[in-house]
Chain A
Amino acid sequence: MSPMNPALLTDRHALAHQRALRAAQAVTLGLFALGAVGCSASVGPDAPRPVEDVAAADAAAEAAVADAPAADVSAADAGDRCDRDAGTDAYLACCQLANWDWNRGCEAWGPFVPPAMEG
């Protein structure tokens, strides 16, 4: 696993982070393990996809992620930090500075429209 990122505040966040990377790795592992024939095509147009596939791929991906180099996440990449112990006023001012809104969670599931490049 990569060195702990400051964004990973607790054990549960660190575990969730590891699980997220394993799941992402699993979608690419099928390429190399199964010769580019994964399970997505095996589900018909009106059938729900088996959620068990995600968990099954989880363990298989763990080693691959552990061996990969860590991301170049700088402090700026991971976001500005606000100090909970700085007092309420300072804390709220920091939140305002970061343009953070209690009502805004993460919305970035995508996919987005690809960018264009000529030639």
Chain B
Amino acid sequence: MDARVVDPLVGDSAFRLAHERAMGALGRDRVGPPPDDLAARHEPRVREAAVATWRARMVNEHRSSAVFAALVPQMIEASSGFDLQTAALRAATDEIFHATLCGDVVRAFGGASRAEAEPELTAPPRHAGVDARERLLRNVMFVGCLSETVAVGLLTEEHALCTDPWVKGVLEVIVADEVAHAKLGWQHVAAVAPTLDAAARARTSDYLRVAFGYLEEKELALLPVSPPLPDADARAREAVGLCSGDGARSVFFDTLARVVVPSLDALGLDASGAWRDRRRASA
């Protein structure tokens, strides 16, 4: 099966103008074009790392758009409010916007923003044996309360360490959206979790064990361990939005253990137990 193509550069089409306007309105106009001397400000090997990393982010963000979009049918099946469905579709559009911005960064550093990726996407699970409301709760909790809350931490760290003004502006716009995506999850779980009966609450807590173990595996694979670099090298990479893997892993673990777990516990779920037992859970 052929790989699929990810290419934020749209050709001439009936939709181009509407697409460009949407991207501008979502924040691309605020970021503005890269300065002419952007590439010259950074060493060639730093530019090369920026191109490779931001291109991978472009592919990931594009894929994330499908995650939010695929939650909408589950929201409809669960008779959720139209407001939640609108928020999820907005989040899906945000992710296409982020992929567009990532492509802008790739080209700004001299790379080509066209990439190839796996041909087929995985649909959100249906969790056989649970009803539509519980199915949606699990998936929105994983996406918003776990994955996107960690993303807020990771992006905030990268933004704090980034020193190139234009790249920092890109990260700033993206993290503002990720905050809203995480809130989507927390607001939904805060509304639904207290209404669960004891059996559903126990099943949801058990699901958290699977979710924590899975997220740990996925995140660590994308947060490569880096040795402690000489300070000049570390600063050069941080300047273009590239954090160190071990620092990011520390943010990942602290965000889960100190923020996500206590917040889910406060909503009546046994997140502490699930976090403790995550490595014996299998998806």
Q: In the docked arrangement, what's the CA distance between A70 and B257, Å?
A: 7
Tell me the dominant secondary structure on chain A's binding face. Answer: loop
Q: In the docked arrangement, what's the CA distance between A67 and B124, Å?
A: 35
Chain A residues numbered 2-22 whose CB sits less than 8 Å from any CB in chain B: 2, 5, 7-10, 12-13, 15-17, 19-22
Determine if B242 and A106 form an interchain contact, defined as CB atoms under 8 angstroms apart: yes
Determine if A110 and B263 form an interchain contact, defined as CB atoms under 8 angstroms apart: no
**For the complex, is A59 an interface residue (Cβ under 8 Å from B)?**
no
Q: In the docked arrangement, what's the CA distance between A5 and B250, Å?
A: 7
Determine if B225 and A20 form an interchain contact, defined as CB atoms under 8 angstroms apart: no
From known contacts A8-B247, A24-B153, A102-B45, infer whether A112 and B228 are also in contact, taking CB-CB under 8 Å.
no
Task: Select which of B27, B186, B241, B246 is within 8 A of A105 by beta carbon.
Answer: B241
Q: Mark A10-45, 1 if CB is under 8 A from B, else 0.
A: 101101110111111111101110001111110101
Q: Find chain B residues with CB under 8 A from A119 CB.
A: 127-130, 203
Q: How large is the interface on A (under 10, 10 to 19, 20 to 34, 35 or more residues)?
A: 35 or more
Residue in A closest to B203 when the chains form the complex, CB atoms = A119
Task: Select which of B83, B144, B155, B247 is within 8 A of A17 by beta carbon.
Answer: B247
Q: Find chain A residues with CB under 8 A from B132 CB.
A: none
Determine if A78 and B61 form an interchain contact, defined as CB atoms under 8 angstroms apart: no
Give B159 Cβ to nearest chain A Cβ, in Å. Answer: 8
Q: Find chain B residues with CB under 8 A from A104 CB.
A: 49, 52-53, 56, 224
Give B164 Cβ to nearest chain A Cβ, in Å. Answer: 14
From known contacts A107-B53, A110-B151, infer whether A20 and B183 are also in contact, taking CB-CB under 8 Å.
no
Q: In the docked arrangement, what's the CA distance between A53 and B214, Å?
A: 31
Give A43 Cβ to nearest chain B Cβ, in Å. Answer: 7
Task: Select which of A2, A41, A111 is within 8 A of B83 by beta carbon.
Answer: A41
Q: In the docked arrangement, what's the CA distance between A118 and B257, Å?
A: 26
Q: Find chain A residues with CB under 8 A from B228 CB.
A: 9, 81-82, 84
Give B104 Cβ to nearest chain A Cβ, in Å. Answer: 15
Determine if A111 and B151 form an interchain contact, defined as CB atoms under 8 angstroms apart: yes
**For the complex, is A115 an interface residue (Cβ under 8 Å from B)?**
yes
**For the complex, is B78 an interface residue (Cβ under 8 Å from A)?**
no
Determine if B186 and A31 form an interchain contact, defined as CB atoms under 8 angstroms apart: yes
Chain A interface residues (CB < 8 Å from chain B): 2, 5, 7-10, 12-13, 15-17, 19-28, 30-32, 36-41, 43, 45-51, 53-54, 57, 65, 68-73, 77-82, 84, 91, 94-95, 98-119
The 6 closest A-B pairs by CB, nearest first: A82-B227, A105-B242, A116-B125, A79-B225, A115-B283, A105-B53
Name 22 interchain pairs, CB-CB below 8 A, sorted by A. Answer: A8-B247, A13-B161, A21-B255, A21-B258, A24-B152, A28-B149, A28-B260, A36-B186, A37-B187, A38-B183, A49-B177, A51-B172, A51-B176, A69-B258, A78-B249, A98-B225, A106-B245, A107-B60, A109-B98, A110-B143, A114-B214, A117-B206
